[in-house]
Homo-oligomer: A and B are copies of this chain.
Amino acid sequence: MTRTVVESATKTVVIGFDEPFCVIGERINPTGRKKLAAELEAGNFSTVEKDALEQVACGAMVLDVNAGVVYNSNPNPNETEPPLMTKMIELVQGLVDVPLCIDSSVPAALEAGLAAANGRPLLNSVTGEEDRLELVLPLVKKYNVPVVAISNDDTGISEDPDVRFAVARKIVERAADFGIPAHDIVVDPLVMPIGAMATAGQQVFTLVRRLREELGVNTTCGASNISFGLPNRHGINAAFLPMAIGAGMTSAIMNPVRAVEMEAIRAANLLMNHDANGGEWIRLAKVLDAVKEGASFAEASQAATQPSSGRRGGRRARA
């Protein structure tokens, strides 16, 4: 059985075919968030703190941490990212107890994150590009951590799912050369927008099955990409996630502070018999009742995790 073990100092999360779907919270990432980038440059970490607490309350089991800033004062990420990664990881693991996912395209930032993180973080990511394989796989081996493997290579991202499968196979084989087992590779088969490629959904479902059956690896994806450019995106995401889970997808890097997607994942867990006695589903139903009464999903989720505070579920902001 394929089990990818990710750990913080105190908590173990297993990504696997017989486990609840692993939600990796994507919010702590300044890419495309100018306000957050400016805050970080000014040494203000309040948004990072808020994002960490909210995501965990909403059900993130692992938190992605990306320090990919381009400062006005220093445009060189090789200089700015590593110390910022260290700082953000120390901050986040001081606030929450979930394992982390260290996310960077700068090798020195990956290594800074690996040095700072407690337990056994997930490394994000390696690709099939030669220079990435040579840079990242030694880190994976040295720190004995699992790694996200994105199925593009030096030729780019293929629209042919067979090529993306072949890239994934190459990464798994190269990892084996380094002594890294397949169960420590979490493949992202790359989700294309269905609005641009009508077969995008079927490609993912087929790839996930093949990756599981032929390579024995866990899988992940940037789930929301499927709905890019279409109206009512959350409705598409909320069908895509259960379908991907049914096909064998075991994790996603996504925004957990969205009720619609999290509801779909919790329902899929229940339907896969990965929610003993429906306990998580029943807990969520109460949170959604508070959302119907006007609370945000984050507020209602945080209130539900603090039963001893005496606060009424999610109504704090309006009291």
Contacts and interface: CB of A to CB of B under 8 A. Distances in A.
A242 B204 CA distance: 14
Interface in A281-308: 281-282, 284-286, 288
Contact of A281 (B230, B282, B288): B230
A201 B272 CA distance: 6
A267 B231 contact: no
A288 B270 CA distance: 27
A236 interface: yes
B232 A270 contact: no
Interface residues of A, number: 40
Contacts of A232: 263, 281, 284-285, 288
Interface stretch (A140-148, A181-189, A191-199): A191-199
Contact of A243 (B202, B245, B278, B281): B245
A231 B194 contact: no
A264 B271 CA distance: 15
A205 interface: yes
A273 B276 CA distance: 34
B194 A278 contact: yes
Contacts of A240: 242, 267, 271
Contacts of A198: 273, 276-277
Nearest to A226: B271
24 contacts: A194-B271, A194-B278, A201-B270, A201-B273, A202-B273, A230-B278, A230-B282, A231-B282, A231-B286, A232-B263, A232-B288, A236-B270, A236-B271, A238-B264, A238-B267, A239-B267, A240-B242, A240-B267, A242-B242, A242-B246, A243-B245, A243-B268, A243-B271, A246-B247
Interface of A: 194-195, 198-202, 205, 226, 230-232, 235-236, 238-240, 242-243, 245-247, 263-264, 266-268, 270-273, 276-278, 281-282, 284-286, 288
